[in-house]
């Protein structure tokens, strides 16, 4: 059995199921301990022709065999089969339900964790938590309950019957069993450590495999297949070593179990034969005793298996608990209010920002004002802090130093959800789901009509491309479907963001992969569609921002200048340089 903060309440939640399972288990165990008595009757009956039964003696004839052996045995077997079926369904079923509930809780928790968590946590490790670790916890729950009660009840009942027959022989048989349990307890501690190492090694391996498959195009382009293979081999070897180390201890434990069980059989046979020789036991009684002993082999083995299973379960549950205890760092303050309307004014006032776990600022003392309804460009070299601005408007991170205002309200004083409800975002990586194009575009709007989806696609200049795909808007994207170009991906992402008609739209480098004519089309469409609504274009191409109301030029996390194209051309040397450089590049192209 396994206990812990996140698992204890499930014993109560599934109490009815567990109790039904335990009732069936106890009934089956009781039925099992009736069988050795029949061994005695058969052996003694064959040997002596009479059988001790119900405090008297009965003749061992065909009628007795039928009435006292065959018929009861038949019913006992049927009872055991049905009972086993019931307890398996109930106890293993409760384990599966616990796995489902924990997985749901973990997924909900993961969804609330911030971008910072995902930037440091590897996806492979998360996947292994959701699969391997949860399966181990599930096994420990259902199987654990079964083994604990089986060991206690069947073991207790068989021991009681053995004691009644001969206490000395029972005590002698118990000595190796006690040694076996002690040994398991000692080895169990090492096994917890080894299991944790094994799970970590498996996580590292899945991380690597996941990253290699995602980046297969880069690996092939740089002909680095062999280097990747070597790295994979090394991780695979580490995983193998961790498995071998765990299996070694587990095998030692299994061998010891067999050794102890065999030594008890020697004791029972030796001392039991002596009792028969002395006339204290009949042959049938010795068989009955051996029958009870056979019945307790499983409970005692179960105790050692339980210790092994508990070691694994504890290590996995600790990993699951670590995840569930990861703090949500972007949360609503107690005074946060929900907003029901946003005009779209954005102000940064003396914002200095540093990402968690780094020792440099990504923004220094940034201040600017974007009025509601303005079309604003944010431009600057790679790494100058453009995406960081978007991260802070969307409250992907907490603003600790300085203040970001939306419609004059400090973003820290409004609920994260209500703020994001009024924002739409086209991220740089333009991630699309493995789903139809239609569902990708309609992602943010639950009851979107086909008409709305088409309008958004027309505005982002992708409608014509989609019509050329075999299944049109129902074409599957991604792993199971078509692969689209970078530019098409960008335009589908823009269409997805346009669906919500949000008060604030942020496009992060969203037209960089399309040609200049398509860019012009998209910008023209957006100008009309976003009339009166705040739209921020993060870009590195001057052509994207040239005609906007305002351009914010960033460098090294600082605002260099703010103005429209003409103003910046007139007074900002850095902007002029950028323009000249890009014109030169265009001429070259």
Q: Does 395 bind ligand ADP (CB under 6 A)?
A: no
Nearer to ligand ADP, 355 or 405 (CB): 355
Q: How far is the CB of 321 from ligand ADP (least distance, A)?
A: 26
Span interacting with ligand ADP, options 101-109, 188-196, 375-383, 520-528, rule CB under 6 A: 375-383
Q: Does 387 bind ligand ADP (CB under 6 A)?
A: yes
β pairing state of 423-426 and 56-59:
unpaired
Structure tokens belonging to residue 214: 């995602």
Q: How many residues does the chain have?
A: 589
CB of 556 to ligand ADP, least distance (A): 9
Q: Applying CB under 6 A, which of residues 8, 119, 131, 485 lies at the interface with ligand ADP?
A: 119
Q: What are the φ/ψ torsions at residue 353 (nearest 5 degrees)?
A: -140, 140
As a three-state string, the secondary structure of 99-167 is: HHHHHHHHHHHHHHCCHHHHHHCCHHHHHHHHHHHHHHHHHHHHHHHHHHHHHHHHHHHHHHHHHHHCH
- For residue 397, the minimal CB distance to ligand ADP (Å) is 8
Is residue 430 at the binding interface for ligand ADP, with CB under 6 A as the rule?
Answer: no
> 352 to 371, contacts with ligand ADP by CB under 6 A?
355, 358, 362
Least distance in Å: CB of 115 to ligand ADP?
7
Please check whether residue 398 is in contact with residue 329, taking contact to mean a CB–CB distance below 8 angstroms: yes
**CB of 99 or CB of 361, closer to ligand ADP:** 361
Nearest approach, Cβ of residue 385 and ligand ADP (Å): 5
**Residue that has been written with the tokens 């065909």 in this structure:** 62
Exposure string of 221-259, with b = 16+ CB inside 10 Å and e = fewer, is: eeeeeeebeeeeeebeebbeebeebbeebbeebeebbee
Residue with smaller CB distance to ligand ADP, 484 or 562: 562
Identified binder of ligand ADP from the candidate list 143, 239, 384, 440, rule CB under 6 A: 384
Nearest Cα to 453, choosing from 461, 435, 441? 441
Q: How far is the C-alpha of 390 from the C-alpha of 353, rounded, in Å?
A: 12
* Site stretch for ligand ADP (CB under 6 A), options 127-135, 184-192, 226-234, 383-391: 383-391
- Nearer to ligand ADP by Cβ, of 29 and 391: the residue is 391
- The residue from 49, 383, 532, 573 that contacts ligand ADP (CB under 6 A) is 383
Describe the strand order of the beta sheet including 558-563 as a list of residue ranges.
423-426, 504-508, 534-539, 375-380, 550-555, 558-563
Minimum CB–partner distance for residue 552 and ligand ADP (Å): 11
Using CB under 6 A, which of the segments 131-139, 273-281, 378-386, 419-427 binds ligand ADP? 378-386
Residue 382 as a binder of ligand ADP (CB under 6 A): the answer is: yes
Rama region for 357: left / alpha / beta (φ>0; ψ in -120 to 50; rest): left
Out of 272, 284, 385, 487, which residue is the one contacting ligand ADP (CB under 6 A)? 385
Judged by beta carbon, residue 282 or residue 352, the one nearer ligand ADP is: 352
Query: Is 544 a residue that touches ligand ADP (CB under 6 A)?
Result: no
Q: What is the C-alpha separation between 222 and 231, in angstroms, rounded?
A: 16
Q: What CA–CA distance (Å, rounded) separates 546 from 542?
A: 6
Contact positions toward ligand ADP, by CB under 6 A? Answer: 119, 355, 358, 362, 380, 382-388
């Amino acid at each position: 059995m396994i206990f812990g903060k996140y698992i204890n309440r499930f014993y109560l939640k599934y109490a009815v199921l567990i109790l039904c399972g335990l009732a069936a288990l106890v009934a089956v165990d009781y039925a099992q301990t009736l069988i050795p008595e029949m061994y005695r009757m058969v052996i003694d009956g064959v040997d002596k022709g009479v059988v001790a039964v119900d405090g008297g003696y009965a003749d061992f004839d065909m009628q007795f065999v039928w009435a006292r052996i065959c018929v009861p045995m038949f019913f006992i077997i049927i009872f055991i089969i049905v009972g086993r079926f019931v307890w398996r369904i109930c106890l293993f079923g409760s384990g599966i339900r616990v796995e489902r509930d924990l997985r749901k809780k973990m997924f909900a928790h993961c969804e609330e964790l911030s971008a910072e968590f995902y930037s440091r946590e590897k996806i492979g490790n998360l996947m292994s938590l959701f699969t391997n670790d949860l399966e181990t916890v599930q096994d420990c729950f259902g199987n654990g309950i079964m083994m604990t009660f089986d060991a206690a009840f069947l073991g207790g009942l068989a021991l009681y019957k053995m004691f009644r027959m001969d206490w000395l022989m029972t005590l002698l048989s118990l000595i190796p069993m006690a040694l076996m349990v002690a040994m398991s307890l000692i080895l169990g501690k090492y096994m917890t450590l080894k299991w944790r190492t094994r799970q970590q090694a498996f996580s590292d391996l899945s991380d690597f495999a996941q990253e290699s498959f995602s980046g297969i195009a880069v690996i092939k382009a740089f002909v680095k297949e062999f280097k990747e293979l070597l790295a994979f081999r090394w991780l695979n070897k580490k995983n193998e070593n961790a498995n071998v180390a765990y299996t070694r201890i587990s095998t030692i434990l299994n061998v010891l179990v067999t050794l102890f069980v065999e030594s008890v059989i020697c004791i029972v046979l030796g001392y039991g034969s002596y009792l028969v020789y002395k006339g204290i036991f009949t042959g049938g009684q010795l068989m009955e005793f051996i029958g009870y002993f056979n019945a307790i082999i499983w409970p005692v083995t179960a105790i050692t298996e339980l210790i092994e299973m508990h070691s694994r379960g504890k290590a996995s549950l600790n990993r699951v608990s670590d995840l569930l205890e990861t703090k949500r760092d972007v949360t609503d303050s107690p005074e946060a209010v929900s907003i029901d309307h946003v005009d779209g004014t954005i102000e940064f006032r003396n914002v200095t920002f540093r990402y968690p776990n780094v020792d440099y600022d990504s923004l220094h003392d940034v201040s600017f004002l974007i009025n509601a309804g303005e079309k604003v460009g944010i431009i600057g070299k790679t790494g100058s802090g453009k995406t960081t601005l978007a991260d802070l408007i969307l409250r992907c991170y907490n603003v600790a130093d300085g203040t970001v205002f939306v419609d004059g309200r400090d973003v820290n004083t409004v609920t994260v959800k209500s703020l994001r409800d009024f924002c739409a975002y086209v991220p740089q990586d333009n991630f699309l789901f493995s789903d139809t194009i239609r569902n990708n575009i309609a992602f943010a709007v639950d009851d979107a009509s086909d008409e709305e989806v088409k309008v958004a696609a027309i505005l982002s200049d992708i409608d014509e491309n989609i019509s050329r795909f075999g299944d049109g808007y129902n074409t599957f994207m991604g792993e199971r479907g078509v692969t689209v170009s970078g530019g098409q991906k960008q335009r589908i992402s823009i269409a997805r963001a346009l669906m919500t008609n949000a008060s604030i739209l942020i496009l992060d480098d969203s037209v960089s992969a399309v040609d200049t004519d398509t860019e012009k089309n998209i910008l023209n469409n957006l100008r009309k569609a976003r009339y009166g609504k705040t739209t921020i274009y993060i870009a590195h191409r001057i052509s994207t921002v040239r005609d906007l109301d305002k351009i914010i030029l960033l460098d090294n996390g600082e605002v260099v200048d703010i103005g429209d194209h003409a103003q910046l051309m007139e007074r900002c040397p850095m902007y002029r340089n950028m323009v000249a450089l890009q014109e030169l590049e265009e001429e070259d192209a």
